[in-house]
């Protein structure tokens, strides 16, 4: 099945929001398809924004993660956007289908690290673990709806550690559906069910509060409907 196409979901003179499908790399590398190449075809002028090897986009999403990702439209707004993510002032809300039943909200505060620079898995730091690096990480989880072996959750992070949600959810016994790398038993259409649904941050041009949302892809909506999670939960989203 061909991968869905990205979409421009917001644009003004300072920044734009792109809806990234699962299965797309953000920056050029050995594999295709590449989100940056798609964006350059839509907006060629963005080639000169930011560093040459990683232009325009001010943060990343994993290959298997869908949802909203931001790009700066000018060199003047690139640095403030990057700084907002670095300083942790960006609210990053995800929709996550987790294994098991979550009955109440959960806060996960566990340090995360890796054994090697290019480790494929992130691990929870603890005494006796020989990790190359370890950082504090904070994840908040709100259950929205549950059925049988799954719970649909809203998950918020302010830190940006690689695989943070995947590692934290697995650490508390509720891996992301389809995330076999972190111990999931059940499938989710080929990729972990992890969608970057909402970003909230100060607008780099005005300084005013600004929000960008990206709806769930059609295949994920269909998956939820098939699982019996078709309605009601959307009314609980901010």
Q: How far apart are alpha carbons 78 and 80 in whole angstroms?
A: 6
| Bridge partners, 99 (sequence order) | 150
**Checking DSSP bridges between strand 66-72 and strand 194-202, what pairing results, if any?**
parallel
Instruction: Find the DSSP H helices in the chain.
Output: 35-42, 75-87, 164-171, 218-227
Of 73 and 227, more confident = 73
Which residues are catalytically annotated? 62
What is the C-alpha separation between 26 and 57, in angstroms, rounded? Answer: 8
SS3 109: strand
CATH topology classification for 7-236: Pseudouridine synthase (3.30.2350)
Provide the whole-model pTM.
Answer: 0.94
The top-scoring range by mean pLDDT among 32-36, 52-56, 141-145 is 141-145
Q: Which pLDDT belongs to residue 1? A: 45
Contact criterion met (CB below 8 Å) for 143 and 152: yes
Average pLDDT over residues 223-233: 87
pLDDT in tens, 101-160: 999 999 999 999 887 766 788 888 775 566 777 889 999 999 999 998 899 999 999 888
Determine the average pLDDT of the residues in 61-79.
96
Question: To 10 degrees, the CA torsion angle through 132, 135, 138, 143?
Answer: -10
Q: Does position 91 have pLDDT exceeding 70, yes or no?
A: yes
Residue-range domain boundaries for the chain: 7-236
């Amino acid at each position: 099945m061909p991968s869905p196409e990205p979409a421009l979901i917001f644009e003004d003179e300072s920044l734009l929001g792109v809806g990234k499908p699962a299965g797309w790399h953000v920056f050029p590398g050995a594999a295709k398809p590449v989100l940056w190449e798609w964006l350059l075809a839509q907006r060629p002028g963005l080639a000169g924004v930011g560093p040459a090897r990683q232009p325009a986009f001010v943060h990343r999403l994993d290959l298997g993660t869908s949802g909203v990702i931001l790009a700066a439209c000018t060199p003047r707004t690139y640095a403030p956007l990057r700084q907002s993510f670095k300083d942790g002032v960006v609210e990053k809300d995800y929709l996550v289908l987790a294994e098991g039943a979550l009955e109440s909200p959960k806060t996960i505060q566990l340090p995360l690290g890796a054994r090697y620079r290019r480790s494929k898995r992130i691990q929870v730091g603890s005494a006796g673990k020989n990790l190359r690096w370890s950082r504090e990480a904070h994840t908040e989880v709100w259950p929205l709806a549950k059925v049988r072996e799954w719970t649909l959750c809203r998950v918020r992070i302010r830190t940006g550690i690689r695989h943070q949600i995947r590692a934290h959810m697995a650490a508390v016994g509720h891996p992301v559906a389809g995330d076999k790398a972190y111990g999931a038993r059940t499938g989710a259409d080929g990729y972990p069910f992890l969608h970057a649904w909402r970003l909230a941050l100060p607008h780099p041009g005005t300084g005013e509060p600004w929000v960008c949302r990206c709806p769930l892809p059609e295949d994920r909506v269909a998956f939820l409907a098939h699982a019996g999670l078709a309605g009601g939960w959307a009314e609980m989203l901010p």
